[in-house]
């Protein structure tokens, strides 16, 4: 690792980029795709290298990948050394922004990859624990450095590597998870608004929870009338459900994973919320409730990413349409549908067209109230559509 941070080694490792790739970098995009790489640097995968254009003009410094389709992930557009002080500064800047957003919060995303100038590094805080995920060779190699800097800055009780994501496959990185600091227990608690959630960072999905929806969870309560009823599909640990239940008389939370469904019940009881957890397939439950003529004041459709590759888009469109059509039929007159998609391949335009089609088939007059995205600690990098993935749209049925 020391050699990767050595300014002299970086100066000698030069990657040359085709004109098209150079224009993308100068326009602010942090990725150079392999077809735009004229010459790789004489350095291993994960190394920090100088990047120049066809004529040798500097473009900045980047993580170089050995075999990924993304050959270079830009760290800076300045021709400056990316040493330990550089990475410490980037990390401190990212942490300072989160402290500004929520000085007293005990949960949130602390580092959001390319959007925070740390390509492939994602760090989430849950109470006194941190969850760290790397999706680039460079961030993966520098994990010991990031762990040390995070311990110095935040003094967490435990840091867990949550490297079981499919995104690592594209970089040729092995999947896995384990303790990086502290332990041996990786259980913790955190808050979303007034609700307290428990989780186990080594046992639960994603980085532990879906923090990109944290602000949307809390915000959703504002659409629930006092004493109303709610339905939260694909509920996971009950983020939307428990928030709705701060005002509702009853909320049903549907989750297919047995462990996650059990966790909903634990969280609901701990917070004293009227939430019934059903372990089942959300598609099946929506069909059943439609047959039974059930109606709710607020219905939430928040499925996993049905499409991660272009070839999956048509099947995903059918799934999104069915879910939202059935969801609309379960909303009371004057009630609200909250519809989400966390797939980057499902663009806002495509998602909107699907919802328009579902609304037309439902044959009910509908208002669009809001278009929300990921929480503010998951910033979108301007000019990089890949960093804008979460859609959380609110509709009112007249």
Rounded Cα distance, 220 and 297, in Å: 12
Map residue 270 onto helix, strand or coil. Answer: helix
Map residue 24 onto helix, strand or coil. Answer: helix
Residues annotated as part of the active site: 342
Rounded Cα distance, 8 and 83, in Å: 10
Rounded Cα distance, 323 and 306, in Å: 12
Which residues have a Cβ under 8 Å from the Cβ of 298 and sit 6 or more positions away? Answer: 220, 223, 224, 228, 229, 230, 231, 244, 248, 331, 335, 336, 337, 338
Closest CA to 316 of 290, 340, 337, 343: 343
Is residue 369 exposed (0-12), middle (13-18) or buried (19+ Cβ within 10 Å)? middle
Rounded Cα distance, 118 and 149, in Å: 14
Map residue 298 onto helix, strand or coil. Answer: strand
Asked if 237 and 267 touch (Cβ cutoff 8 Å), the reply is yes
Asked if 196 and 268 touch (Cβ cutoff 8 Å), the reply is no
Buried/exposed code over 43-66 (b: 16+ C-beta within 10 A; e: otherwise): bebbbbbbbbbeeeeebbbbbbbe
């Amino acid at each position: 690792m020391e050699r990767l941070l050595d300014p002299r080694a970086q100066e000698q490792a030069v990657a040359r980029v085709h004109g098209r790739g150079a224009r993308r970098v100068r326009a602010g995009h942090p990725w150079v795709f392999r077809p735009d790489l004229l010459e790789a640097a004489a350095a291993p995968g994960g190394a920090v290298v100088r990047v120049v254009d066809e004529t040798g003009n500097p473009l900045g410094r980047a993580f170089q990948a050995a075999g990924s389709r993304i050959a270079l992930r830009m760290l800076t557009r300045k021709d400056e050394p990316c040493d330990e002080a550089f990475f410490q500064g980037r990390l401190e800047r990212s942490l300072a922004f989160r402290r500004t957003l929520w000085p007293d919060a005990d949960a949130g995303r602390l580092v959001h990859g390319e959007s925070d100038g740390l390509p492939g590094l994602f760090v989430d805080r849950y109470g006194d624990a941190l969850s760290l995920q790397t999706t680039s060779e460079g961030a993966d190699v520098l994990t010991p450095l990031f762990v040390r800097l995070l311990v110095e800055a935040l003094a967490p009780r435990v840091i867990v590597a949550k490297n079981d994501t499919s995104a690592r496959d594209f970089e040729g990185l092995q999947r896995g998870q384990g303790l990086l600091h502290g332990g041996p227990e990786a259980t913790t608690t955190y808050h979303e608004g007034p609700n307290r959630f428990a989780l186990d960072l080594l046992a639960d999905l994603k980085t532990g929870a879906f923090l990109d929806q944290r602000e949307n969870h809390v915000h959703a309560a504002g659409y629930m009338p006092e004493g109303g009823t709610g339905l939260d599909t694909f509920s996971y640990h009950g983020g939307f459900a428990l928030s709705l239940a701060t005002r509702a008389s009853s909320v049903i939370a549907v989750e297919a994973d047995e462990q996650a469904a059990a966790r909903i019940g634990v969280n609901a009881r701990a917070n004293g919320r009227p939430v019934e957890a059903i372990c089942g397939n959300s598609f099946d439950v929506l069909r059943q409730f439609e047959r039974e003529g059930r109606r709710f004041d607020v219905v939430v459709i928040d499925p996993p990413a049905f499409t991660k590759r272009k070839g999956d888009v048509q099947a995903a469109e059918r799934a999104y349409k069915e879910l939202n059509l059935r969801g609309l039929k379960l909303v009371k007159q004057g009630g609200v549908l909250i519809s989400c998609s966390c797939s980057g391949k499902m663009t806002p335009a495509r998602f909107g067209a699907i919802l328009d089609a579902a609304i037309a088939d439902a044959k009910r007059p509908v208002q669009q109230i809001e278009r929300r995205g990921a929480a503010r600690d998951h910033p979108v990098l301007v000019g990089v559509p890949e960093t804008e993935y979460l859609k959380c749209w609110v509709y009112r049925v007249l």
